[in-house]
Amino acid sequence: MSVLVGKKAPVFKAQAVINGEEIVENFSLEQYLGKKHVVFFFYPKDFTFVCPTELHAFQAALPEFEKRNVAVVACSTDTEQSHWGWLQLPKDKGGIQGITYPIVADTTKTISINYGVLAGEYEYNEDGEMTSSGPMIAYRGLFLIDKNGVVQHQIVNNFPLGRSVEEALRMVDALQYFEEKGEVCPANWKKGEEGLKATHDGVASYLATH
């Protein structure tokens, strides 16, 4: 696993399904640079059990993210055709019909590798043939990326552990509060509460570059 906090988010271009129905080529997070914060999250597989609860939860909270000028983007190692098929299946049948934010198809697994969330790895056997170990799908990683393309927050959960969308929103609020006020957010800080004034060199450095 790699820690990307404080570093530029890895760039990529890949196929994705947008607006719940349209397959596009060369989708990239770079379109949001200078414009929006991004919550970029990985999930293991289409047509599973925990994953749709997370995707629907992010969709339900999408108006809150949009109010904060935050783009939500999902990604798994399934194909764009698999994403599209799952999007056509109603929620009561285990589908994700109604999801409108982009879902990226990491079919080469390079996005998951670069973000450090791929469960498994490639290796060569004694005959020089490339093999893989592990399921070769993405853990439940989530990355909060600022308008400069820098990762400010990340979490990675194992497959059985669904994430908290409320916590993702809280982290967005904390980052935006810091960017606006220059004050840091203590434990369990929530929007509307006061922050703490900070003099740490890292804070000054962040403010100088944003």
Burial class (CB in 10 A: 0-12, 13-18, 19+), 101: buried
From 4, 14, 51, 142, the catalytic residue = 51
Token match 């799952």: residue?
86
185 noted as active-site residue: no
How many CB atoms within 10 Å of residue 152?
Answer: 21
CA 156 to each of CA 71, 77, 125, 164, 197: distance values in angstroms, whole numbers, following the listed order = 19, 16, 29, 12, 29
For helices 165-181 and 50-60, what crossing angle results, to 10°?
40
Cross-strand pairs, 72: 39
How many CB atoms within 10 Å of residue 40?
Answer: 23
Question: Which candidate, 199, 115, 123, 111, places its Cα nearest to that of 151?
Answer: 115
Residues identified as active-site:
51
